[in-house]
Homo-oligomer: A and B are copies of this chain.
Amino acid sequence: MDRILLSHGSGGTMMHKLIREHFAPKFDLKSFNDSAVLHGIKKGKLAFTTDSYVVSPIFFPGGNIGDLAVYGTINDLSMVGAQPLYITAGFILEEGFQFEDLKKILSSMSIAAEKAGVKIVAGDTKVVNKGKADGIFINTSGIGIIENRIDISPSNVKPGDKIILSGPIGNHGISVIGERNGISFNPPVLSDTAPLNSLVKEMLKITKKINAMRDPTRGGLATTLKEIALDSGYCIFIEEDSIPVPSGVKGACELLGLDPLYVANEGILVAIVSPDVSDKLINVMKRHSLAKDARIIGEVRKSPEGMVLLKTSIGGTRIVEMLSGDQLPRIC
């Protein structure tokens, strides 16, 4: 048997076999209870998040839907300063999905969880008829603990704050779009999918004065900065020349008519920090393998309120809006 059947989702013997043979060995499922019971949770603030992954294609240069789903939820928790602890995984499989592909994806999830130091403690599998889904969709939810002193929220952002970007933009989106369209790039463009929790941990050792933090995924850096501008009520002013765009991403964007500012990322972060700690933070970040290119790309200004302004390479200033339309569906 090399394909998923409807009976794998029926709740009966076939599903139990699937879970025992394929899911349980890869995850930290303790029992056949539907809920994981977690001991020793410390008193404090808890972060709780969810994300569904429908990326197409499911395998792309640098990753697949499995590690993307684990890292994406780890990163959502990390962005509020939480230490990610536990993850659940819900699978929607299309009848006929290849077992070989499922095994690869589960292995990637297991390796990703171990790499990031989190446990996958509960799961769920549903199967829908052929033609009623697209191979595999994965939902991951996660919880993490936030130290009481940490309070990361756009409402803390103040004029004068520096905007730090941890690395180059556009790699994830271009790797997926390239794979989807059968285009390969030279140099190759690999997804940046990676767990940001250890980087954030290092940053929070240096200072608690991180006022806002986001990972610019769907909608890209532009949309993320616009969200922060709207949520904080201030102006985000950035300089185009300071934003690293890899040559492969630049070339692909020109070819495909895309703006790298709107292309999804899965392994970088934007932090809005007090100016008195920005240099110290950059120094610490540069020593981390995921943020060698960390740099200040701009600052928070009092006005125009809620706007993102970009100083272009040729010296002009343009207004940056959120992504509009559907130029990049199913990127994560």
Interface residues of A (CB under 8 A from B): 5-7, 9-16, 31-39, 41-54, 56, 76-77, 79-80, 82, 86, 88-92, 121-124, 126-129, 131-134, 137, 139, 141, 143-144, 146, 153-154, 217-220, 223, 227, 231, 262, 264, 321-330
| Pairs A–B under 8 Å by Cβ, sample size 25 | A9-B218, A10-B327, A12-B322, A15-B218, A33-B153, A34-B51, A34-B79, A35-B47, A35-B48, A36-B47, A37-B45, A38-B46, A41-B44, A48-B122, A49-B122, A50-B141, A52-B90, A88-B141, A127-B329, A128-B134, A129-B330, A132-B133, A133-B133, A137-B137, A143-B143
Smallest beta-carbon distance A94→chain B, Å: 9
A262 proximity list for chain B (CB < 8 A) = 12
Max chain B Cβ within 10 angstroms of own Cβ: one of A76, A126, A227: A126
State A267–B51 Cα separation when bound (angstroms): 27
Task: Indicate whether A49 sits within 8 Å of B35 (C-beta atoms), given known contacts A54-B126, A137-B92, A323-B10.
Answer: yes
Is B127 within 8 A of A48, CB to CB? no
Residues of B within 8 A of A42 (CB): 43
Q: Residue on B with the closest CB to A12?
A: B323
Among candidates B39, B46, B49, B131, residue contacting A45 with C-beta atoms closer than 8 Å: B39
Q: Cα distance A42–B143 when bound, in Å?
A: 15
The answer to whether A92 touches B54 (Cβ under 8 A) is yes
A interface SS class: mixed
Which of B126, B144, B325 touches A7 (beta carbons < 8 Å)? B325
Give Cα distance in the complex from A188 to B270, angstroms.
56
Across the two chains, which residue of chain B brings its CB closest to A139? B139
* A329 adjacent to B218 (CB under 8 Å): no
| Neighbour of A37 across the interface among B43, B132, B146, CB < 8 A | B146
**Bound complex: CA A323 to CA B11 (Å):** 7
CB neighbours of A264 from chain B (8 A): 11
Q: How far is the CB of A27 from chain B (nearest CB, A)?
A: 12
Cβ contacts under 8 Å, A146 to chain B: 37
* Complex-state Cα separation, A82 to B129, whole angstroms: 34
Q: In the complex, A48 Cα to B142 Cα: how many Å? A: 9
B50 touches A45 (CB 8 A): no
Contact of A43 among B12, B41, B154 (CB under 8 A): B41
> In the complex, how many angstroms separate the beta carbon of A320 from the nearest chain B beta carbon?
12
Q: Which of B7, B82, B122, B143 contacts A326 (CB 8 A)?
A: B7
